[in-house]
């Protein structure tokens, strides 16, 4: 277990998407976060007290979360130096980057000297089976996207909270570093060998008979040349009954690929439904989740209404406006008895 409270690392990052792990923890686990560590050239903030490592320890912090995302998930020299300083101040280190903490000699030596623990969140379990595609009991929803980092985790977590508030049984299934840190478990899907991706999802969302929902966090996009393989395996392993399409309307190009424009919503929805039908021919789309954080309230409301009309699906910003329209559609599609009776005259 990763000891809390946490100090969240921002470092020198000035890319909003680049601090998504730290931000996700600040939003969904605020009770476990005591502060943020950032340099003067970092113009971003999570709204937490800015602390150095010694101040964080004095405030009760137990673990420094290296909650940043960079191209390739690399541990740079500055990150290693900061992590060593944090260890020397009395903090454990947790990271979801692709480069493992345990492979950095300076970190291993510092942790040994000071009796601290290194947590590599992106280590998948060693017993992942190959996917078999056999139908399994239970209901599953998967979030899919037009691109990477468009709000799939936020939408899934908001949906879990909303469904539980309405008396439904629903469980978030994490598939990325941020989700795993928030939920305390899951599978780091982009670290799983390709042949085992669908099996990993079958493993974390096994058959269930309690009438509850597994809400599976999506990854990547079928339209992103770098990560479409992960998205495909996830669709097959999830065997989703329902798909929730996530999109950032302000995105001008695919993340990291300025030569690729984002796909259309209908195009994305049709492609994901087509791939998902391999293992669940009855899959349905239940809504659209837009990230409207950079839009005015009026523009966001107008775009949600226009998108809903165009696709014939409920559309909302799950974090800003709630998820009730999507839950209503889920209940309509999968709980026929919940429909209001028609009055006869």
Please give the Cα distance from 52 to 27 (Å, whole number).
21
Smallest CA-to-CA distance from 168 within 119, 210, 136 is with 210
Q: Which CATH number fits the domain 139-338, given the four candidates 1.10.1200.10, 3.40.50.300, 1.20.1280.50, 2.60.120.10?
A: 3.40.50.300
- Residue ranges covered by each domain of the chain: 6-120, 139-338
pLDDT at 339: 46
> What fold characterizes domain 6-120?
Rossmann fold (3.40.50)
First to last CA, the chain: 62
pLDDT, residue 73, reads 65
**Beta-sheet pairing, 63-66 with 92-95:** parallel
pLDDT score, position 267: 98
Task: Give residue 55's pLDDT.
Answer: 98
Q: What is the mean pLDDT of each run of 10 residues along the chain (345 residues)?
A: 94 89 95 96 96 98 91 79 97 92 96 97 93 96 96 97 97 95 92 96 96 97 96 98 98 94 98 98 98 96 98 98 98 74 35
Judge if 6-120 and 139-338 fold alike in CATH terms: yes
Q: How far apart, in whole angstroms, are the C-alpha atoms of residue 116 and residue 63?
A: 9
3-state secondary structure of 242: strand
Give the pLDDT score at 72: 59
pLDDT of residue 335: 85
């Amino acid at each position: 277990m990763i000891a809390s409270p946490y100090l969240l690392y921002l470092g020198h990052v000035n890319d909003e998407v680049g601090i998504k792990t730290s931000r996700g923890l600040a939003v969904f686990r605020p009770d476990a976060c005591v502060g943020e560590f950032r340099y003067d050239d970092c113009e971003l903030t999570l709204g937490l007290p800015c602390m150095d490592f010694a101040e964080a320890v004095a405030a009760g912090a137990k673990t420094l979360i290296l909650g940043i995302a960079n191209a390739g998930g690399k541990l740079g020299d500055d990150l290693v130096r900061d992590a060593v300083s944090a260890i020397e101040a009395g903090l454990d280190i947790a990271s979801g980057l692709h480069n493992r903490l345990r492979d950095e000699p300076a970190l291993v030596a510092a942790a040994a000297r000071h009796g601290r623990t290194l947590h590599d969140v992106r280590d998948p379990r060693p017993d992942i089976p190959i996917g078999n595609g056999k139908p399994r009991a239970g209901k599953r929803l998967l979030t899919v996207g037009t691109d990477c980092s468009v709000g799939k985790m936020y939408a899934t977590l908001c949906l879990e909270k909303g469904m539980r508030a309405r008396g439904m049984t629903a469980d978030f299934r994490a598939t990325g570093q941020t989700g795993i840190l928030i939920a305390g478990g899951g599978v780091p899907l982009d670290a799983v060998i390709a042949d085992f991706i669908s099996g990993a999802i079958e493993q974390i969302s096994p058959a269930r008979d309690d009438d509850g929902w597994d809400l599976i966090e999506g990854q990547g996009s079928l339209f992103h040349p770098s990560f479409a393989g992960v998205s495909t395996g996830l669709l097959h392993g999830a065997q989703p009954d329902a798909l929730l399409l996530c999109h950032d309307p302000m995105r001008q190009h695919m993340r990291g690929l300025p030569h690729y424009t984002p796909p259309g919503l209908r195009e994305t929805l049709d492609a994901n439904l087509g791939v998902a039908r391999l293992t669940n021919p009855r899959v349905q789309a239940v809504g659209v989740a837009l990230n409207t954080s950079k839009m005015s309230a009026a523009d966001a409301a107008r775009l949600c209404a226009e998108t809903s009309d165009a696709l014939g699906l409920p559309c909302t910003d799950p974090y800003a406006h709630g998820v009730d329209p999507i839950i209503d559609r889920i209940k309509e599609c999968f709980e026929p008895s919940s429909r209001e009776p028609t009055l006869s005259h």
